């Protein structure tokens, strides 16, 4: 069971400015959370290997197909600096010049 001084201590460590009402509300909430986590320690997980992800990750890629879009002139119409049919951007890093 967590008590008021525990909540105040953790709030101080986390630099949280909690009001008295918030602390009073957090005491039973955090107690219930710790109780639920405590129940998990009784579960036998010896046959379960460590994992960082519970479901398989998969990249969903679409084919790179050119589609009709705006014209080059329309895309460059508001460009502040143009060089031929290209957009010119200011140098950001001097490396590699």
β-partners of residue 38 are none
Each residue's pLDDT, cut to its tens digit, for the chain (97 residues) gives 899 999 999 999 999 999 999 999 999 999 999 999 999 888 888 888 888 887 888 888 889 899 999 988 888 888 888 888 888 888 888 776 5
Which helix (H) or strand (E) covers residue 13, if one does? helix 4-13
Query: Hey, what CATH class is 4-40 in?
Result: mainly alpha
Rounded to two decimals, what is the model's pTM? Answer: 0.47
Whole-angstrom distance between the N-terminal and C-terminal Cα of the chain?
A: 64
Spans of all domains in the chain: 4-40
Q: How far is CA 52 from CA 29, 49, 88, 90, in A?
A: 27, 10, 44, 42
């Amino acid at each position: 069971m967590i008590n008021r001084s525990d909540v105040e201590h953790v709030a101080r460590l986390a630099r949280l400015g909690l009001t008295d009402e918030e602390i009073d509300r957090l005491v039973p909430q955090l107690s219930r959370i710790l109780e639920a986590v405590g129940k998990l320690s009784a579960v036998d997980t010896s046959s379960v290997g460590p994992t960082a992800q519970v479901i398989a990750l998969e990249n969903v890629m679409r084919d790179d197909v050119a589609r009709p879009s705006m014209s080059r002139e329309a895309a460059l119409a508001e460009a502040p600096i143009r060089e031929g049919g290209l957009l010119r951007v200011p140098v950001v890093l001097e490396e590699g010049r």
